[in-house]
Structure 1
Amino acid sequence: MSTLQPIHALNLDSIQQQAFIKYYLTLPDKPPTTVRIFDRNDYYSVHGVDATTAAKEVFNSISNIKKMGIEPNRLDYLVLSKGNFEILIKKLLLVRRYRVEIYVAEGSVKSCDWVLKYKGSPGCLTQLEEVLGDGLGSSEENTPCLMAVNIKIDPVSKGRLLGVACISPGEYEMSVTEFTDDDLLTELETITVQMAPSECLVPQSDHDDYKALKKIMDRANVTITKLKKSEFSVEGLTQDLNRLLKFKESQQQDANVFPETRKRTAMASLAATIKYTGLLTDSTNFARFRIRTIQADCFLHLDTAALAALNVFPEPGDSSNAPSRSLYGLLDRCRTQHGKRLLAQWLRQPLRDINLINERLDIVELLMNSSQLRLQLYDDHLRRIPDLQALARRLTRKKANLHDCYKIYQAINRLPSLLQCLSETNNATVHSSLSEPISELNEDLNKYQQMIEATIDMDAVERGDFLVKPSFDEELQILSKQLDKLQSSAEKELNKTAKDLDLAVGKTIKLESTPQNGFCFRVTLKEEQSLRGNKKYTIIDAVKGGVKFKSNALGSINEEYIQAKSTYEKEQDKVVSEIVAIAGSYSECLFCLSHILSRLDVLVAFSVAATTAPYPYCRPTITESIDELELREVRHPCLEVQEGVSFIPNDVVFKRGSGIMHIVTGANMGGKSTWMRACGASALLAAAGCAVPARVARLPRLRCIAARAGATDREDRGHSTFMLEMLECAAILRTATPDSLVLIDELGRGTSTYEGCGIAWAIAEELATKCQCFCLFATHYHELTRLPNLHPGVIVNSHAEAFVVDQQLLLMHKISSGPATHSLGLHVAKLAGLPESVIKYAETKQTQLDTNLYEIETALNSQDTTEGQHLITNFLLSCKQIQNSTSSDEEMLKEINKLKQDMLQQDNKYVQALMA
């Protein structure tokens, strides 16, 4: 709690305050999403509008803001302790997605010699690792990724050619791709979901394509940073890549050997990311990076609307990670930080290759069926594995210490017992994908273990100290003997003092050593009176734990000891640097080991989530055929784990020739949305390689899951509910194919009833007849239940069962075939507590307005319906002719009434039902 207590005032006099204000006002303009922080050695300060931003983020209040200077140049400021500063940095960069600038004084902090020393943005945290240490954001779902996008006109197709580049410094990876896209940039949105960048660089431009790009990044919560167009230049890029890329021993040391460098538009984006991140300013980045092509089609296509509709990740700012709030929260049983990051990646990148999916499912099924193996891995082995990826990066950047080296040593020490555990499965998939690569890496890391055992003092480790063995270095040996000699002298002085004070050594008087005071004696508070008035001894400190003091002789020993220890530590630092440099040569092995162990961690997490669910999960069957999708007794994995919920399972069946679209009707809260989301969640889990919450699951190899669900305005981004619906539906219609699963919930609200119904009807027909995708289409427009008659074998009706019993609404949460006969909205309104007078008036208006064409049509034979519709069409055409030919309203009404009587005399049942 101490870190949250603000320091209230700056240590500056009025003249110094005025000088700082004058300097501050000369700083260039900045957007409110950039926060400037001033490092004042023992504390930090923020000023102006930044003070308000910081106060809200750290203290959730602006009461701590003070003012400096005199009118008219008064300036708000807030002072932050180091703890507050770290909280602010993490919130700004990782939650708010803001940028940070840290100014440091070159001279005295009371002068105004400030320089901008550190900059950080959501996609570029490298500089701030010096301030906050490595692994900033290591507990987050993903390591920071920076994206850059460059849009050109394709000289061949004349379409939009996009060049995309991503850099993940924490993984030493560069990824590029180049493709043509439509005006909504739907392919770019898919790649953005898959890569999960924190920040996107774009050239300064007012072109409409970049406006569309901004909308995509806003939906994905990605910070946009505009750079000069000159930053997107490939000039000198080859030389830069020659220094950054890792080449194989037999490979020509020329970046042009990589096929990715032929993508010129993507290379311009890559050049911008390299300059922005300043990779070339740190020599530890040289010969470390790999370059690859982004293979978007290898993964199931998801957009931000689908991620939100299926609750794949928690809402921004929701740190609870509750299993009932998101699929990530449900599945996150990972024991390692790198496992958590890989889980997030797998959920963004579900697989399409059936063999790769089955490889994961083989292992998950094995773990589900073997509780002993699962619990051994989960409770014993994996929880003791540190974040090897972060530690390997520290080694690479020469920022590691002996403690880091020892943590790696401990992890390697666990590998033989882990391998023994895996070998007992006698499973070919486990052997080839896990045991064999771990075993090979274990052999490669054997020499690392030997080095650590030869250099680190293991006896000191047991005491909590991480020291180099004195025997490892001749100079250290000499200094160690000197320290031992001084230790012995201090102990002799302890015996002498104990005899003088008549105290028992080790009981009432002890010798202690602290980094601050060196050697000192300590006695209990009860024995403190023996020191009073004794000029031989000097009291250092008195607390509840006892009284610390020293004698003159011990003071002399102390001086020598502190000096010798300081010399020892300096000499040890040289040795540690050598050890870290040698350990750094194993970083590549450690990155590989981290990847394999994180893979095992996620597969174990999948099996734990499945076996601890209230009802059994099943292994899904993935087929090449796109003729059928079958989920029997499927449940929503997040809702069923909520406390007090008894989930009612339902079936989802699609079959070409029998029905690939369900028009889903029924009462509000009846379970329509849950049913649809359960289907989408199961399809995503299956593609990720996880068991699904169903009794039987047969799914085709899907290309895409698209969703439009919920009715949330985005007023902050200028999008109404209706506009958001139309944007998402436009993207769905462009991307949906026969191997897509589309979920649409409550389309057409936010406009007139008939207009909304017309749009919903048109979109449903387009998806069913042209896109021919698997689709669940929930609606309150009962007119849409006529579609199965128009498209038999393609569209079917389904509904959420509900009944009215003794004037009470009974929701069954069961999905059955056929349309709902009533929406039962008035009964839901009663449940919500609307006044009885309002309910009765609503019933009256409903009677006046409601005509259910579906009920009428299904009650009559098709010949009556067809003849009736023909009569009505002729009646309307005749009315139009009368309107054009008559001169007065009275005459027009007279003629229309004649037509009406003629039509009624035809004695058609369809017309009579409508008129009734």
Structure 2
Amino acid sequence: MSKEKGTQKEHSPMMRQYLEVKERYPEFLLLFRVGDFYETFFEDARLVSGALNIVLTKRSNGSSAEVPMAGFPHHASEGYIAKLVKKGFKVAVCDQVEDPAEAKGIVRREITDIVTPGITFSDKILDDRHNNYLCAVAFLREGRATIAGVAFIDVTTAEFSIASMEPEGVREFLLSLHPSEILISASERARFEQLKQSCSQELLITELDAWMFGEEQTGEVLSRHFKTHSLKGFGIEGNRAGRVAAGVILQYLEETRQNRLHYITRISELHGDDHMTLDLQTKRNLEIISSMQDGTLNGSLLQVMDHTCNPMGARLIRRWLQRPLRKIEDIQLRLDAVEELTGCREMREGLGEKLSAINDLERSLARIATFRTMPREVRQLGISLAIIPSLQELLQEAASARLRSLAARLNPLPELARRIEEAIDPESGASMRDGGYIRSGFHAELDDLRSISSTAKDRLMEIQQQERLNTSISSLKVQFNKVFGYYIEISRANSDKVPPYYEKKQTLVNAERYTIPALKEYEEKILNAEEKSFALEARLFHDLCAEVAGQASLIQTNASVIAELDALFSFALAAVQYGYCKPEMSDHRNLEIINGRHPVLERIMSDDEPYVQNDCLFDEKQKMLIITGPNMAGKSSFLRQTGLIVLLAQAGSFVPAERAEIGLVDRIFTRVGASDNLASGESTFLVEMNEAASILNNATATSLLLLDEIGRGTSTFDGMSIAWSMSEYIAHAIGARTLFATHYHELAELENRIPGVVNYNATVVETADRVIFLRKIVRGSTDNSYGIEVAKMAGMPAEVIVRAREILAGMEKRDIEIPLDRPPTVKSMQISLFEESDSRLRRALEMLDLDRLTPIEGLLELQKLQDLARSSGGF
């Protein structure tokens, strides 16, 4: 215990109680219920005061010292807790669990809820169109190798999955999930410190005791939860590391008092063969779910494609766009379903209407199963279930196999829908405090209690009328408050008329309050009936929630079907509104796009400047397209549009083109734009080379490579050497379909040297005083980058432009001639950097025999010579 907290004897009984609870939950902000407030003390109070911008006060702790304290009203706690959790804090809620009036000594308190970024059901924290993942990572030895297992769960939707991978792939996988919280073994702290340092996004990492990651321990937890002897039925038996991670998650949920987990009924494994893996740089460069400019949805592919009608579909289409399919059969099923919805307006509009009337079954079920719900949410779930029969009827004549299959999987649960309709009053509000949410006629005993209470209240009005006659006091009133119960109030002006049998209860400034035997009798009847009525109503509602939770598996199946129908509907609506075509999918490596468009840019551009359509062709004669041309001419847009068209096709969507034939792609790799990672000591060029190296090490012959301006981060000839060498390596060693956009128009020479390499360029029209970019990609190369013209368009001062043209003219007189008989080497290009008079430097370079070194070794040696020349004033 810290010196600030002192010893237990120095504190009052309540503070000792607080410290005992805090000792069990040291990693959590402890919200301690005191009367109508949740209070925090000591360091927690300082943290809460700063995070919520509320006053930090002090209270006596029973001795001479004072304790820092900060708190907020319990009735507003959800909003305050949401703010704390959004800032990365984990919160433990300690409530009073007995009536203070009946407590003998200190009021008993217990932890009633724990909220962390990865474990929350609050609408004030959650985004209904995003999943909220809690992840766990475990490492197991398998032979001589180490395998990483990752499990992730969204407790609000019951999605629970595992995957296994090489340890080097964990960072990429976790960041692609955007988890709210990651569970690791304390023994792996060093490994994850490196992960946190290399990430731009904030990661909340929770360390757990190493024993929780034992294979036997986690196996028992999984078997106990799913009530099975083995996990073969879930298809995860062979994934040892993933199973351990899944068991860790369930243990953590139990430790954080999430003890109503029976609605989590299934667990699945992510297989790399089923879905295309998209690394972070590809997701970022293609702007799939967020814009590179500001990180928001605006300007992203998701914004264009998401026309879903409910949150379940919105979450699914986000996953589909990030996990395109790799099996033609699965892709074709989606495409056929989208085609039918595109062609049948009546079915499409009917589907949209019904989907819009269905609420978020996944999250409603989770809140209902954990008794965190309100009656009107249960009623809305019942209404949603009642819509399912008409949804099935709409789809029963569907021609596509996928729509028929989805319709067959729906289960409307008519008995449960009917019971919810009979139980919940349509007028039930957002609060259960005043009762009245269970329908009259649903339960006889509840109706009787309500009748007693209602009749007794009528009797009270009779008493009021009778006493007015008995006392001749016309202003006499029978009233009620929670402190004094029912009473008769008489003004002081009429106090001389009060009968002797009136018993005084309270004296006010202008009135007196009394009771009489008849009033006491009916007060007891009313209060007893109301108390019993509220208790019975709460029990009936609890039983109804348990009944709903008992159908969790079937409700989740309905939810998954409805989400998929919604995502298919969204694809169909986008196809109709934007004029997309159905792509032809095949197993070969050809790729042909006729009049393709960028799905996002064409929505942004105005009618005055429509998006310029472009073709793209890969076949046996065209495997690598070298695209030259200036900035602003459309090279990068062409690369991105090709990647997005392939991605959409393999996600099962129609695509923005006149016609498209897509040979299946296993992965899309991109290297676009300039960025750095200064926090980890990585320059722009090093980041570029890291990303390029990852592509070369992971791409296969069936991948699609989108490379833009490789080598721009270093000197011209170093960069051109790397770009040339990479092109050769891709063409000879990998064979992947590649779009290579570059300013190095010297690379056009590759077409004459390597079969399958073909030149294209972004067309430009030069006039007397300006350059016009047509943004049309055509056959052939260009020998001009038009950089000075672009600088002029950007508003560069005129004298800078004039001087730049003078310098360029001078440099072009000593332009480098690249021999046609062989590609340039590090030696041949670097020697050209120096004047003929630098004979000593030339001799030094020749002695190095650079042609026998690898490009990287050669560049390092040349760098040493250049540094030596600078430091000594020349050779």
2:626 aligned with 1:669, yes or no?
A: no
Contact 1:245 1:287 in 2 (8 A): no
Contact 2:601 2:611 in 1 (8 A): no
Q: Distance in 2 between matches of 1:291 and 1:365?
A: 32
Q: Deviations over 1:453-505 (max 9, x none)?
A: 55445688999986334544442232132234246557889999999xxxxxx
Matched residue, 1:200: 182
| 2:453 counterpart (474, 483, 490) | 483
Q: Distance in 2 between matches of 1:308 and 1:270?
A: 29
Q: Distance in 1 between matches of 2:37 and 2:610?
A: 54
2:430 aligned with 1:433, yes or no?
A: no
Q: Percent identity?
A: 25
| 1:100 counterpart (87, 90, 95) | 90
Matched residue, 1:234: 215
Q: Distance in 2 between matches of 1:642 and 1:699?
A: 26
CA offset at residue 710 of structure 1? 1.9
Matched residue, 2:360: 387
Q: Distance in 2 between matches of 1:100 and 1:598?
A: 31
Q: Distance in 2 between matches of 1:160 and 1:697?
A: 43
Matched residue, 1:565: 530
| 2:133 counterpart (132, 135, 144) | 144
**Cα separation, partners in 2 of 1:191 and 1:340, compared to 1, 3 Å:** same
Matched residue, 1:765: 728
Q: Which amino acid aligns with 1:574?
A: R
Q: Distance in 2 between matches of 1:459 and 1:193?
A: 44
Q: Distance in 2 between matches of 1:811 and 1:74?
A: 73
Q: Distance in 2 between matches of 1:472 and 1:85?
A: 34
Q: Distance in 2 between matches of 1:852 and 1:312?
A: 44
Matched residue, 1:890: none
Q: Deviations over 1:592-643 (max 9, x none)?
A: 1111111111111122223233xx11111111111x1111222121222226
Q: Distance in 2 between matches of 1:747 and 1:264?
A: 40
Q: Deviations over 1:128-172 (max 9, x none)?
A: 54xx48x952514113231313154x42xx444323333443444
Q: How does the TM-score come out when normalised to structure 2?
A: 0.77
| 1:161 counterpart (147, 171, 174) | 147
SS at match of 2:325: coil
CA offset at residue 308 of structure 1? 0.6
Q: Distance in 1 between matches of 2:107 and 2:679?
A: 39
Q: Distance in 2 between matches of 1:693 and 1:514?
A: 68
2:764 aligned with 1:834, yes or no?
A: no
2:750 aligned with 1:800, yes or no?
A: no
Q: Distance in 2 between matches of 1:512 and 1:372?
A: 61
CA offset at residue 309 of structure 1? 0.7
Q: Distance in 2 between matches of 1:772 and 1:161?
A: 30
Q: Distance in 2 between matches of 1:754 and 1:233?
A: 54
CA offset at residue 690 of structure 1? 1.1
Q: Which amino acid aligns with 1:306?
A: T
Q: Distance in 1 between matches of 2:84 and 2:658?
A: 45
SS at match of 1:612: helix
Q: Which amino acid aligns with 2:91?
A: E
2:333 aligned with 1:359, yes or no?
A: yes
Matched residue, 1:11: none
SS at match of 1:296: coil
**Cα separation, partners in 2 of 1:702 and 1:212, compared to 1, 3 Å:** farther
| 1:449 counterpart (412, 417, 439) | 417
**Cα separation, partners in 2 of 1:606 and 1:54, compared to 1, 3 Å:** farther
CA offset at residue 714 of structure 1? 3.0
Matched residue, 1:344: 318
Q: Distance in 2 between matches of 1:328 and 1:660?
A: 30
- Summarize the alignment of residues 410-425 of structure 1 with structure 2, pairs less than 5 Å apart: 410-423=383-396, 425=397
Matched residue, 1:176: 162
CA offset at residue 69 of structure 1? 9.4
Matched residue, 1:407: 380
Q: Distance in 2 between matches of 1:486 and 1:498?
A: 18
Q: Distance in 2 between matches of 1:463 and 1:276?
A: 31
CA offset at residue 263 of structure 1? 4.0
**Cα separation, partners in 2 of 1:88 and 1:491, compared to 1, 3 Å:** closer
2:545 aligned with 1:577, yes or no?
A: no
Q: Which amino acid aligns with 1:580?
A: C
CA offset at residue 304 of structure 1? 0.8
2:727 aligned with 1:741, yes or no?
A: no
Contact 1:346 1:688 in 2 (8 A): yes
Matched residue, 2:565: 600
CA offset at residue 559 of structure 1? 8.1
Q: Which amino acid aligns with 1:773?
A: A
Q: Which amino acid aligns with 1:586?
A: Q
Q: Which amino acid aligns with 1:199?
A: E
Q: Distance in 2 between matches of 1:611 and 1:764?
A: 39
**Cα separation, partners in 2 of 1:746 and 1:117, compared to 1, 3 Å:** farther
2:695 aligned with 1:732, yes or no?
A: yes
CA offset at residue 348 of structure 1? 2.0
SS at match of 2:90: strand
Q: Distance in 1 between matches of 2:403 and 2:559?
A: 17
For structure 2, list consecutive stretches of 5 or more residues without a partner in the other structure: 1-9, 101-105, 470-477, 498-512, 847-875
Matched residue, 2:224: 243
CA offset at residue 330 of structure 1? 1.9
Matched residue, 2:252: 276
**Cα separation, partners in 2 of 1:466 and 1:724, compared to 1, 3 Å:** farther
CA offset at residue 410 of structure 1? 0.8
- Summarize the alignment of residues 125-140 of structure 1 with structure 2, pairs less than 5 Å apart: 125=119, 128-129=120-121, 132=122, 137=126, 139-140=128-129
Q: Distance in 2 between matches of 1:830 and 1:317?
A: 24
Contact 1:665 1:782 in 2 (8 A): yes
CA offset at residue 120 of structure 1? 4.1
SS at match of 1:630: strand
Q: Distance in 2 between matches of 1:602 and 1:796?
A: 38
**Cα separation, partners in 2 of 1:207 and 1:408, compared to 1, 3 Å:** closer
Pairwise CA RMSD: 5.1
Q: How does the TM-score come out when normalised to structure 1?
A: 0.73
SS at match of 2:533: helix
Count of aligned positions: 791
**Cα separation, partners in 2 of 1:203 and 1:283, compared to 1, 3 Å:** closer
Matched residue, 2:807: 845
2:663 aligned with 1:700, yes or no?
A: yes
**Cα separation, partners in 2 of 1:448 and 1:803, compared to 1, 3 Å:** same
Q: Distance in 2 between matches of 1:490 and 1:320?
A: 61
- Summarize the alignment of residues 461-610 of structure 1 with structure 2, pairs less than 5 Å apart: 467-486=437-456, 488=458, 561=526, 564-610=529-575
Matched residue, 2:308: 334
Q: Which amino acid aligns with 1:397?
A: T
Contact 2:306 2:317 in 1 (8 A): yes
Matched residue, 2:617: 654
Q: Distance in 2 between matches of 1:696 and 1:228?
A: 57
Contact 1:737 1:773 in 2 (8 A): yes
**Cα separation, partners in 2 of 1:765 and 1:27, compared to 1, 3 Å:** farther
Q: Distance in 2 between matches of 1:451 and 1:345?
A: 34
Contact 1:623 1:700 in 2 (8 A): yes
CA offset at residue 519 of structure 1? 12
